[in-house]
Structure formats: structure tokens, C-alpha cells
Structure 1
Amino acid sequence: MTTIAVLGNGRVGGNLAAALSRAGHEVMVADRAPGAAADAARTARIVINATPGAGSLERLAALRDELSGKILVDVSNATTDGPDGLPADLIHPGSSLAEQLQDALPETRVVKTLNTMLFPVMTAPATLTQAPTAFLSGDDQQAKQEVGDLLTDLGWHKEWITDLGGIQTARATEAAILFVPHLIRSAGFTPFAISIAR
């Protein structure tokens, strides 16, 4: 059992928190109440960033002390939205939210994952008609191993998890968000994930 703090109680955060609790972990969910995120981050071993990506960097940089020594699992994408509310462009072109978080939080081990799919797939990958891929990006190999173990608790088979390398590889998976609005306009909010076929 691992003590996990989920920052963000929307669809993504709520879904992850419920699934991790069912898997036997001790999970705390931090809402937007003042001090809630700091309290949750301080007591957890692993912190999941499920806050809206546009404000994640500022929000988490303020938790530098609380996140020191922790694993930060970043599942958010930092984008600007178009008139229809769907992602339109990247906030950190030539970089990524994950890289910006790692720079702002040097004592925290940032791992990027689960950001290349609609949120229901994060906790139910086997419901898709073909095997999806979950990517891992991060500079700390042990942290990536621990996050990979969490993914298996969420139903991800080991062979569905691909370690891309260092944190800079997150800019590739974050850029995949640019597929999303076109897919949604084409097929609606049908669950999907980017998959590597071999």
C-alpha cells in the first residue's frame, strides 16, 4: 500500500483516486480549498497532478517544500483552448509541462504518464478493442518503476507500458494532445488512447 495524494478532484482526479483506492492504496484528494494541496502533498509518498494543465506550473511550484523528495506523477496537458473548449495549442512549445515542473521542483522526481488518452482509459485500459500504450517520461529510473507498478494496479499490462527515457521525452507525448480535438470532433467522446503497434 502506498500513500497517494491526488491534486485535483475533477473527472481525471476523481477517477484515478477511486481506482487507486480500490487497488488498496491510501488515497487523499485535494480540492481547491486553501492549504488542502499542501496538506495532502506533505503527507503522501506519491503525488498525482490532475489539476488543469494551464495552471499546474504555478500551483505546484508553490508546493516546492511539500513536494521535496516526493514522486510527482504528472498526467496533465498544458494547452490553450479554442472557442469550442477543446485544446487548441500548447502552452510550452519546444518544452513540456513536465519539464517545466521538473525545473521548478528540482528536489522532486517528476514522471509523466497517462496523458495520451481520454480519462476513462487511464483506469480501464482493457476496455478498448486493442491494447493501448502508457508512456513513461522521467529522469529517475526508480521513480518510473514505482509509477509503472501503480499503472499495473490500474489494469495496465507490463507490455503496454513504454519507458521513453528522460523527462524531455514528455514534450512528444504532450504534443499528442493536438490530435484530441480532431478525434473528438470526428467520433465524439468515445474512449481512446494512442497505441504503438509493433
Structure 2
Amino acid sequence: MTTIAVLGNGRVGGNLARALTRAGHEVTVADRTPGAAADAARTARIVINATPGAGSLDRLAALRAELRGKVLVDVSNATVDGPDGLPAGLLHPGASLAEQLQEALPDTRVVKTLNTMLFPVMTAPASLAQAPDAFLSGEDAEAKQTVRELLADLGWRDEWITDLGGIRTARATEAAILFVPHVIRSSGFAPFAISIAR
């Protein structure tokens, strides 16, 4: 059992929290208020950023002391939304939210993952007709192994998890969010993930 703080209590955060609790972890969910997030992060071994990506950097940078030494799992995408509320562009072109978080939190081990799929797939990867991929980006090998084990608890088989390398590789996976509005407009809001055919 691991103590986990999920920052963000929307569809993504709630879905992850329920699944991780079912897997036997001790999970605390914090909303976006600074006090709640600080309290949750302080007592957790792993912190999951499931806050809206546009405000994640400021929110988490304010938790620098609480996040020191922790594994921060970043599942958010920082986007500029179009008139229909769907992603229309990247908030950090030429970089990534994960890189910005790692720079702002040098004593925290940031791992980017689960940001290339609709939220139901995060906790039910076997529900898709084809095997999905979960990508890992981060500088710390031990932290990435910790996240790999967490993904296994969510139903991800080892061969579905691809370690892309350092945190800079998150630029590629975050850019994949730009597929989402087009797929939704074409096929509706049905669960899907970006996968690599092999």
C-alpha cells in the first residue's frame, strides 16, 4: 500500500482516486484550494497532478516544500481551448507542462504519463479493442519504476508501457492532445488512446 495524494477532484482525479483505492492504496483527494492541496501533498509518498493543465504550474510551484522528495505523476495537458471548449493549441509550445514543473520543482521527481488518452482508459486499458500505450517521461529511473508499478495496479500490462526517456520527451506526448478534438468530432466521446502499432 502506498499513500497517494490526487490533486484535482474532477473526472480525471476522481476516476484515478477510485481505481487506486480499489487497488489497496491510501488515497487522499484534494481540490484546487491551496490549503487542501498542501495538506494532501505533505503526507503522501506519490502525488498525482490531475488539475487543469492551464493552472497546474502556478498551483504546484506553490507546493515546492510539500513536494520535495516526492514522485509527482503529471497526467495533465496544458492547452488553449477553442470556442467549443476542446483543446485548440498548446499553452507551452516548444516545451511541455512536465518540463516546466520539473524546472519549478527541482527537488521533486516528475514523471509524465497517461496524458495521451481519454480519462476512462487510464483505469481500464483492457476495455479497448486494441492494446493501448502508456508513455513515461522523466529524469529519475527509480521514480519511473514506481509509476510503472502504479500503472500495473490500474490494469496496465508491462508491454503496454513505453519509457520514452527524459522529461523533454513529454513535449511529444503533450502535443498528442491536439488529436483529441478531431477524434471526438469524428467519432464522438468514446474512450480511445494514442497507440504505437508494432
Q: TM-score, normalised by structure 2?
A: 0.99
User: What residue ranges of structure 2 are gaps of 5+ in the alignment?
Assistant: none
Report what 2:46 is aligned to: 46
Secondary structure of the corresponding residue to residue 83 of structure 1 = coil
The answer on whether the counterparts of 2:32 and 2:51 sit within 8 Å (CA) in structure 1 is: no
Q: Could you report, residue by residue, the CA deviation over 1:24-76 in whole angstroms, capped at 9, with x for unpaired residues? A: 00000001334000000000000000000000000000000000000000000
Report what 1:120 is aligned to: 120
Q: Could you report, residue by residue, the CA deviation over 1:126-152 in whole angstroms, capped at 9, with x for unpaired residues? A: 000000000000000000000000000
Report what 2:3 is aligned to: 3
Report what 1:193 is aligned to: 193
| Runs of 4+ off more than 6 Å | none
Secondary structure of the corresponding residue to residue 35 of structure 1 = helix
Secondary structure of the corresponding residue to residue 102 of structure 2 = helix
| 1:70-81 aligned within 5 A | 70-81=70-81
Report what 1:110 is aligned to: 110
Report what 2:160 is aligned to: 160
**Partners in 1 of 2:193 and 2:98 — Cα distance?**
19
Verify: 1:19 aligned to 2:19, yes or no: yes
Aligned length: 198
Q: Could you report, residue by residue, the CA deviation over 1:76-108 in whole angstroms, capped at 9, with x for unpaired residues? A: 000010000000000000100000000000000
Verify: 1:179 aligned to 2:179, yes or no: yes
Report what 1:129 is aligned to: 129
The answer on whether the counterparts of 2:112 and 2:138 sit within 8 Å (CA) in structure 1 is: yes
The answer on whether the counterparts of 2:135 and 2:161 sit within 8 Å (CA) in structure 1 is: yes
Report what 1:82 is aligned to: 82
**Partners in 1 of 2:133 and 2:108 — Cα distance?**
25
Q: TM-score, normalised by structure 1?
A: 0.99
Q: Give 2:104's aligned amino acid.
A: A
User: What residue ranges of structure 1 are gaps of 5+ in the alignment?
Assistant: none
Secondary structure of the corresponding residue to residue 151 of structure 2 = helix
Percent identity of paired positions between Structure 1 and Structure 2: 85
Aligned alpha-carbon RMSD (Å) = 0.5
Report what 2:144 is aligned to: 144
**Partners in 1 of 2:128 and 2:24 — Cα distance?**
24
